Amino acid sequence: WVRKFADTYPNAIRLQSYEQLAQNPQAEVKDLLAFCNLPWEAHCLQVENNTLPVSTASKVQVREPINTKSIGRWKRYEPQLDVLKTVISQ
């Protein structure tokens, strides 16, 4: 369903691959900022320096530099996602 919205509204919705972002952060962040009509700023890559409050279960992770440690972790939840995929596809 997300792809459907992205295909329907290509100028408003951009899908971002976490893997591509983690593996090539500078190019991906530049592209993402350009899509949003925002200027490139190198400090966008230094997410670990952000001191704003974070209220999320991953608040420790968002204080880490961009990295590839989590690539593929979703696969351990794939069996549970099968049910969700079925519901969404209906």
Distance between CA atoms of 90 and 21, rounded to whole angstroms?
A: 31
DSSP notation for 12-69? T-----HHHHHHSHHHHHHHHHHHTT----GGGG-GGG--S---STTTTGGGSPS-ST
**Model-level pTM?**
0.75
User: pLDDT, tens digit, for every residue of 14-73?
Assistant: 999 999 999 999 999 999 999 999 999 999 999 899 888 888 888 788 888 899 998 999
> Which residues constitute the domain of residue 36?
2-89
- Domains identified in the chain, total number: 1
Q: What per-residue confidence (pLDDT) applies to 40?
A: 96
Distance between CA atoms of 20 and 27, rounded to whole angstroms?
A: 9
